[in-house]
Copies of this chain bind each other. A is one copy, B any other.
Amino acid sequence: MKPRITLKNIAKEFGVSISTVSKALKDSHEISEETRSKIKAFADYYNYKPNSLALQLRNQRTSVIGVIIPEIVHHFFSTVIEGIEKYANEKGYSVMVCISNESFQKEVSNIGVLTNGSVDGLIVSLSRETQELQNYHHFEALLKDDFPLVLFDRIIEELECDKVIIDDVGGAFKATNHLIELGAKRIALITTKDYVSVGSLRKEGFKKALKSNNIEIDDSLIFKIDEKLNTYEQIKKVLFVTNPPDAILAVNEIYAATALKIAKERGLNVPKDLAIIGFTSGLISEFTSPSLSSVEQHGFLMGKQAAELLIDRIETEGNLEFQKVVISPDLKVRNSTQIN
C-alpha cells in the first residue's frame, strides 16, 4: 500500500510549517488567502484525508462503538446490529462487531481487545456460557472504571449499567392468554434451560397467565431443550406421548417451526388439533404452512435504544443515572392460532 499523504508532506512541498498547513486546510483566518488556496488545491488534488488514528489519539475518543453478540447468523441479533449501526452512524459513530460464539473465553478476550482504547463504549449481549457460569468479573472490572457499557436482551440484572430488554414476561403472558382464549386446556411450553435469562422469564410469563386463568400448572408439560443435544428429537417427545397437549408456546422460532413440522408428521391439524405460537426472530414463521403466530421482538428498536443509551453516556460528562429500557413485544397472529 502506498503511504498516505500527510500534513508533513504538504508542508515540505510548500516550504511552510505543519501548523500552517493544518490551519490552511481548516480555513483559518490566520493564514493568507493566497497560501490557503494553494495548499487546499494541492491537498485536494492528492486527496488528503486526516489520519483518523492520530485524531483519535489526540482527541482521546475514537467515535467507534464495540458490539459483542453471541452469534451473528441469527435474525434477532443481526436486526439489533442493524438498529445499532443506523443510529450510531447518524451520530457519527462506526461499529466494531465481535462474536463471542456463546463462549465465555471468547467474550472475555473480545472485551480485552475492544477496551484497549479502540472503542468509546460497548454494547453486549451475554454468551450462553457466561450465563451458565455466572462469572461477570470482566464486566465488573469495566464498570469500576466507569467504562460506558450497555447490556441488551441477555443481561445481568445485578450489574449497575444501562440495559435494554424485552418484556419477556409480558410477551409470554400475552401469548399464553391468546392460546387460552382459543380454548386451549393443556398448553405445553417448549423453553430453554433455566440459566438462559430470556427462557426463564418467558416461562414466568407463561405460568403467570395460567394462574390468572386458574389453570393448574403441569410441570410435565414444560420441556427444557438442551441446545447441545438434537433439538428435533427432544421436541418430538412433546407430541409423541399418550396425552398430548392441545397448544404449544415455544420460546423461539426454531422450536415453534420444529414443533409444527413434527405435528404435521404426526398427522395433527394445526391449529384445530394443536395451536402453536412462538417468539419470532426470523422469516420462517411467515413461510411455514400454516404460518406461525408469534411474539414480535422489535430487534431494530432494541438496537437503536441500546445505541442511544450508550452514546448518551459517552457524550455526557458528569454522572447519569443508569436506565433500564423495557420494550413491549407485540402479538402477531397468523394461521397457526387462527380458526376460521
Q: Which residues of A line the B interface, CB within 8 A?
A: 1-2, 4, 47, 49-54, 56-57, 62, 64, 71-75, 78-79, 81-82, 85-86, 94-99, 112-118, 141, 145-148, 254, 257-258, 260-261, 264, 282-284, 287-289
Across the two chains, which residue of chain B brings its CB closest to A299? Answer: B73
Task: Quote the shortest CB–CB distance from A138 to chain B (angstroms).
Answer: 11
State which of B54, B56, B64 has its C-beta within 8 Å of the C-beta of A96: B64
- Contact A147–B1 (Cβ < 8 Å): yes
A contacts with B: majority SS: mixed
Query: CB-CB < 8 A to A117: which residues of B?
Result: 4, 51-54
The quantity of this chain's copies bound in the complex is 2
Instruction: Flag if B287 contacts A257 (CB, 8 Å).
Output: yes
Nearest to A76 among chain B residues (CB) is B73
* A307 → B minimal CB distance (Å): 13
B1 and A118 within 8 A (CB): no
- Kindly state the separation between the CA atoms of A50 and B117 in the bound complex, as whole angstroms: 9
Measured between beta carbons, the chain B residues less than 8 angstroms from A283 are 254, 282, 284
Contacts of A81 in B (CB 8 A): 72, 97
Given contacts A78-B73, A82-B72, A287-B284, contact A95 B95 (CB under 8 A): no
How far is A51 from B146 in the complex, measured between Cα atoms in Å?
17
* Cβ B73 vs Cβ A94 within 8 A: no
Extra A-B contacts (15), CB below 8 Å, given A2-B145, A64-B118: A1-B146, A51-B57, A52-B117, A54-B117, A72-B81, A73-B79, A78-B78, A86-B99, A94-B96, A96-B96, A258-B287, A261-B289, A282-B283, A283-B284, A287-B288
Which residues of chain B are near A72, meaning CB under 8 Å? Answer: 72, 78, 81-82, 85
CA distance A94 to B67 in the complex (A): 12
Q: Are the C-beta atoms of B118 and A94 separated by less than 8 Å?
A: yes
4 closest Cβ pairs, A-B complex: A52-B116, A257-B287, A51-B117, A2-B145
Bound: A51/B117 CA distance, A = 6
| Contact yes or no, B82 A73, CB < 8 A | yes
Q: Could you name 9 residue pairs across A and B whose Cβ atoms are closer than 8 Å?
A: A49-B116, A53-B57, A64-B96, A86-B99, A95-B97, A95-B98, A96-B96, A284-B287, A287-B288
Residue pair A74, B78 in contact (C-beta under 8 Å): yes
Is there contact, CB below 8 Å, between A116 and B287?
Answer: no
**A29: min CB distance to chain B, Å:** 26
B287 touches A47 (CB 8 A): no
A283 to chain B: closest residue by CB = B284
Q: Are B289 and A264 in contact (CB under 8 A)?
A: yes
Chain B residues, CB < 8 A from A86: 99
Interface pair B96/A50, CB less than 8 Å apart: no
Given A52-B118, A116-B49, A283-B284: A145 and B4 within 8 A (CB)?
yes
The chain B residue with its CB closest to the CB of A282 is B283
User: Contact partner of A47 among B57, B85, B141, CB < 8 A?
Assistant: B141
User: Is B57 within 8 A of A54, CB to CB?
Assistant: yes
With A96-B94, A141-B47 given, is the CB distance from A73 to B75 under 8 Å?
yes
A4 to B54 CA separation, bound complex (whole angstroms):
18
